[in-house]
Amino acid sequence: MDPDSDLIRIRSSKSREVLLNPGALAAAIRQANLSPGRETGGVLLGRFTGDKSVPIIYKCLPSTSDCQHSRASFSRGTRGLATLLRREFVRGYQYIGEWHTHPDGPSQPSCRDHLTMARIARSACYQIADPLLMILSGSEARGWKAAVRRYNKMGVTDRFAEIEASAALLEHEL
């Protein structure tokens, strides 16, 4: 069976797309459910299609032990992240962005989110010109929605359709 056959296709108004592994989304939602009422998040890993035009999100890494999170903010930590990323890079994955939650809030990025993603796009350390930001909004009781945006060094370049996570999706494994 083709591992890419069940990828979720998310389109933007500009007819661009992002592909999302349901197992990655399920992993992010499981992580979100472990932090009710507090923002949490981590790193998006994936690959690009052969022509490099379409990012594919394969993994949503969980937050590190040194992250800072509260009801309305999240700062990703770095403890143990370099080792984990090296292992994933050897497996063929690359850094493609960040994800975090907005518990019971909107899926729109905050001003801080916009600034962070533009900074990542400008930084040579991340080695990506157009990083993605996936925001999960909702809660375990109300359900989760995922919204993805693509950034460049100036800000948002694409806003993709919001998708709802179903109970069946949560049965996926990485």
User: In the structure, what pLDDT confidence band is assigned to residue 172 with cuts at 50, 70 and 90?
Assistant: low
Distances (CA, A) of 88 to 6, 13, 47, 50, 62: 22, 32, 11, 19, 14
Instruction: Please give the Cα distance from 171 to 145 (Å, whole number).
Output: 16
Instruction: Please give the Cα distance from 81 to 168 (Å, whole number).
Output: 30
Q: pLDDT tens across 126-157, in order?
A: 989 899 999 999 999 999 999 999 998 888 88
Task: Kindly state the DSSP code that residue 172 receives in the 8-state scheme.
Answer: -
Classify domain 13-166 at the CATH topology level.
Cytidine Deaminase; domain 2 (3.40.140)
Query: With 90 as the cut, is the pLDDT of residue 159 above it?
Result: no
Q: pLDDT tens across 54-84, in order?
A: 999 999 998 888 888 888 888 888 888 899 9
Residue 26 belongs to what H/E stretch? Answer: helix 22-33
Instruction: Please give the Cα distance from 29 to 151 (Å, whole number).
Output: 23
Ordered by start, the domain boundaries in the chain are: 13-166
- The pTM of the full predicted model, rounded to 2 decimals, is 0.89
Query: With 80 as the cut, is the pLDDT of residue 122 above it?
Result: yes
